[in-house]
């Protein structure tokens, strides 16, 4: 295994994300969200307090957290990686104007069929500590050399 299984349980420093009107408007434009409340001509007309499209949270929880994982010299990540899955568990809606504190952690690493599957969990709270959403992303790291083994039964690298 190229990735370091000792990193399971490692918590990265938290980062702050302000859910801005323009972020949500751009997301809605790019992804084809049809709710007109996100597409008004002026960003200031998109109201603070409006709940964001749920999948927008993947942008908050993914980009910065994945960057920290990929730059972790103790993990040993490499660029032969693809996104293998995403789960979002909400305890409250994320709203325009929220300031979220997001804390990433590696929660699982296992080898299956020649791939290394890494799960990154990101807990996001409001500044007052109220839990809002937990994101779980699975990243699939392909072998650095050679094809993925079709007949490999895999197994757990870390429990």
pTM of the model: 0.83
3-state secondary structure 85-135: EEEEEECCCCECCCEEEEEEEEEEEEEECCEEEEEEEEEEEECCCCEEEEE
Query: What distance in Å separates the CA atoms of residue 132 and residue 11, rounded to the nearest whole number?
Result: 18
Give the H or E element holding residue 25.
helix 21-31
Average pLDDT over residues 135-156: 71
pLDDT, position 105: 98
pLDDT, position 64: 85
pLDDT, position 62: 79
pLDDT reading at 104 higher than 60: yes
Mean pLDDT of the chain: 86
Q: Which residues of 16-39 are buried (b: 16+ CB within 10 A; e: fewer)?
A: ebebebebbbebbeeeebeeeebe
| 93 exposure class (CB count in 10 Å sphere: 0-12, 13-18, 19+) | middle
pLDDT reading at 47 higher than 90: no
Domain 5-20+52-141 has CATH 3.30.530.20: no
């Amino acid at each position: 295994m190229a990735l370091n299984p000792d990193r399971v349980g490692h918590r990265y420093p938290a980062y702050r994300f302000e859910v801005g009107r323009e972020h949500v408007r751009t997301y809605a434009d790019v992804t084809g969200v049809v709710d007109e409340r996100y597409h008004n001509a002026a960003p200031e007309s998109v109201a603070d307090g409006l709940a964001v499209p749920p999948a927008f949270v993947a942008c908050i929880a993914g980009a910065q957290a994945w960057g920290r994982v990929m730059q972790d010299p103790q993990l040993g990540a490499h660029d032969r990686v693809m996104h293998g899955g995403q789960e979002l568990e909400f305890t409250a809606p994320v709203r325009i104007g929220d300031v979220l504190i997001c804390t990433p952690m590696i929660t699982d690493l296992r080898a299956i069929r020649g791939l290394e599957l890494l799960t990154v969990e990101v807990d996001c709270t409001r500044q007052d500590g109220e839990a809002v959403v937990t994101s779980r992303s699975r990243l699939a790291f392909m072998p650095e050399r050679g094809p993925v083994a079709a007949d490999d039964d895999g197994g757990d690298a870390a429990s």
